[in-house]
């Protein structure tokens, strides 16, 4: 008497899905090594090649964006990048000032050094554009030059900060940069 559990099931290779059936026949006929080589050549290698091509296309498109300076940044992210620039530069300018004050520079000499540093460091934002097509590094350079912030910081440094700590100078620079750059943004 046939067992109810065996009904509907075909014994042997015929009961396997077609791909498994082919695999079992290949292994049985040519051996496991030949099957594995064929599986790699016919299945795995095309998949890897497809993944590699996708990765290559992604890297190429990113390279094209960077080379052609097409990186678009929403205005909110542009403001955040300006904020990060101000934080980083307040430390850089503070260190420049505390070192320069030991040599007793004039306010105009110090202002020139500060402006050169501020404008040079906008290079970190090169290639980034706002959605309105304005380049972030150029916008910051324009704001720095038109605000007179370098002269303001230098004047305060030579008159007020001769004995100030690096932390105080950095804090004052951050406030001055923040105010000057935000004021220039509001003037537009």
Coil, helix or strand at residue 130 = strand
Q: Which of 40, 67, 94 is the last residue of a domain?
A: 67
Q: Say how many domains are in the chain.
A: 2
What is the mean pLDDT of the segment spanning 51-64? 67
Residues 44 and 112 grouped into a single domain: no
The reply to whether 3 falls in a domain is no
Is a pLDDT exceeding 90 seen at residue 116? Answer: yes
Interatomic CA distance for residues 21 and 143, integer angstroms: 72
100 with 116: CB under 8 angstroms?
no
The pTM of this model reads 0.59
Residues 48 and 87 grouped into a single domain: no
pLDDT top residue among 173 and 83: 173
The reply to whether 81 falls in a domain is yes
- Between the alpha carbon of residue 118 and those of residues 49, 103, 153, the distances in Å are 46, 20, 12
Interatomic CA distance for residues 19 and 26, integer angstroms: 11
Residues 100 and 41 grouped into a single domain: no
Pull the structure tokens for residue 30. 């040519």
Domain residue limits at 59: 18-67
Residue 149's pLDDT is: 92
């Amino acid at each position: 008497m046939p067992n109810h559990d065996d009904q509907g099931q075909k014994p042997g290779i015929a009961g396997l899905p077609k791909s498994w059936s082919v695999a079992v026949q290949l292994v049985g006929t040519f051996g496991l090594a030949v099957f594995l080589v064929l599986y790699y050549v016919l299945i795995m290698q095309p998949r890897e090649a497809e993944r590699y091509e996708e990765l290559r296309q992604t890297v190429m498109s990113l390279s094209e964006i960077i080379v052609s300076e097409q990186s678009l940044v929403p205005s909110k992210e542009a403001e955040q990048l300006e904020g990060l620039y101000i934080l980083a530069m307040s430390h850089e300018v503070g260190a420049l000032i505390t070192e320069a004050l030991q040599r007793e520079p004039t306010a105009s000499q110090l202002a020139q050094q500060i402006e050169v540093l501020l404008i040079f460091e906008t290079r970190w934002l090169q290639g980034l554009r706002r959605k309105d097509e304005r380049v972030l590094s150029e916008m910051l350079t324009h704001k720095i030059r038109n605000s007179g912030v370098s002269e303001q910081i230098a004047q305060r440094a030579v008159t007020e900060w001769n004995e100030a700590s690096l932390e105080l100078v950095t804090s004052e620079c951050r406030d001055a940069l923040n105010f000057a750059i935000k004021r220039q943004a509001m003037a537009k």
